[in-house]
Chain A
């Protein structure tokens, strides 16, 4: 039985849940509610970040042992909420431009965040399942939010069908785990002796992981990523590629570390290499900036899996650092694309997302071009920026676990990736626009530029002094 006072055991979750529901009421009862809702969402996300820090170093089991507060979980939640804060700040401008400025957008966004938080904190496979589905259902709707665009519809349908198909596998895995251990509680499941000598348990865990690898977009389950990110509203693509992935990683990483799945190290290593190879090589041929960033996010999932294969304490820190850096740079790049995108003129397609549009951007719009260059350099892993240190820590973690070959292959593949990031940069600064008539429909409102500046500050500050991050998140191990 849950008592009323227990609701205050986890204030960030309470804040997010309350705001997600309350926004719906604001929309009904307040006229011209969009601005009110926008401000309300920003305040509630900021206060959720603030209150998350209250739970550091408190190992608690709450809500009838359904949720377990641990330090890594809090770190992941803070990273996700930061990403969501930047997304929300940049959303207003984009939604107004596309004439879809509805309060429901913010409500669904917060429900998705609620799902992510539940999933990361879960101590029971039923709760993992509900959190995952809450997140996914909100994502399906958000991907299809631009209802008048065919691409958005198709992206949503594709994501929905493939996502539900994979949910089936996750669920079958959970059913087998429940059948063999007799419980859905993760603490009880972990306490069973000799789990990995039982091949039903192995099949169950394998099915479970297949579903989560799909959500993260690891080879061979990456095929949906470019299409869905291309079809989704640009700001939603940014959120899917950061917060959505981080939530899935934050859920499986503690499971991998607790079960100590060293037997599967080879599988994770091969998956990491295949993912990096696929993402970096296919990205070279892309002519659409959203698809290019989608492939870059596949490659990033590969780098993260180098850390997962390492499976040591250093890898945990490295993954957390990389995810924080990745949130800033990937989200920042998507926000720039969303700002430069042409506003809705009744056509049923996205405009100004071809790479050719970026030719000569440096002359037309230097501020946006400088920001974009920073993010691309960071994604490419060029030294003074956060992306470089992220990759450095992940590869270093792999070397610590005697996986020198893995980190060597990873470094070579990430060097291939430098090519296409530099290609965009060269387009922006060193080529002239072919089409003179191109005009930037950029009305940089206060919030759009603030959100990007936040991401730029994160990329540079964490890049110049990575120790700052480890001081802030010293509780992670």
Chain B
């Protein structure tokens, strides 16, 4: 039987890697993917809690998070495309009219 700590630690590792990716990478699409990784690692935490607590709300929460991730991906990629049409770049270092 695997203790809940192992699941939670795996999720914490993935979350921190996602945070590191957001802070290190400069490509808007890759940053976006790192955020998806963060959300996914939180889903793992929620499912682990749900299984060990025997409560269903955790799994319902995962559904909602997936919905939100899909919605944000749609809007976010639309914004990236709109920006690319104007700027021909997705590198956030070149997004310099407004200082980062």
Contacts and interface: CB of A to CB of B under 8 A. Distances in A.
A133 B42 CA distance: 16
Given A126-B57, A130-B64, A154 B35 contact: no
A182 B99 CA distance: 43
B98 A154 contact: yes
Contacts of B49: 175, 178-179
Interface stretch (A87-95, A98-106, A161-169, A444-452): A161-169
Contact of A178 (B22, B38, B58): B58
B83 A153 contact: yes
A126 B55 CA distance: 14
Contacts of A227: 98-100
A231 B86 CA distance: 14
Contacts of B28: 157, 161
A184 B80 contact: no
7 contacts: A129-B68, A150-B87, A157-B28, A157-B83, A161-B31, A165-B22, A184-B61
A271 to B, nearest CB: 22
Contacts, number: 117
Given A161-B32, A171-B65, A179-B49, A184 B98 contact: no
A150 B100 CA distance: 14
A112 to B, nearest CB: 13
A237 B43 CA distance: 33
Contacts of B100: 158, 227
Given A178-B46, A178-B49, A178-B57, A168 B18 contact: yes
A230 interface: yes
Contacts of A168: 15, 18-19, 35, 38-39, 42
A158 B31 CA distance: 11
Contacts of B1: none
Chain A interface size range: 35 or more
Interface stretch (A140-148, A357-365, A420-428): A140-148
Interface in B16-39: 18-19, 22, 28, 31-32, 35, 38-39
A154 B65 CA distance: 26
A183 B55 contact: yes
Main secondary structure of the interface of B (DSSP, over half): helix
Contacts of B72: 133, 137, 160, 164, 167
A172 B75 contact: no
B79 A156 contact: yes
A288 B65 CA distance: 39
Interface of B: 15, 18-19, 22, 28, 31-32, 35, 38-39, 42, 45-46, 49, 53, 55, 57-58, 60-61, 64-65, 68, 71-72, 75-76, 79-80, 82-83, 86-87, 92, 95, 97-100
A410 interface: no
Nearest to A127: B64
A183 B57 contact: yes
Nearest to A175: B45
A409 to B, nearest CB: 29
A140 B35 CA distance: 16
A230 B75 contact: no
A147 B42 contact: no
A166 B49 CA distance: 22
Interface centre among B22, B49, B61, B97 (most CB of A within 10 A): B97
A183 B60 CA distance: 12
Given A126-B60, A130-B64, A172-B42, A153 B22 contact: no
Contact of A133 (B18, B31, B71, B97): B71
B86 A348 contact: yes
B98 A179 contact: no
Contacts of A141: 75, 79
Contacts of B92: 157-158, 161
A343 interface: no
A279 interface: no
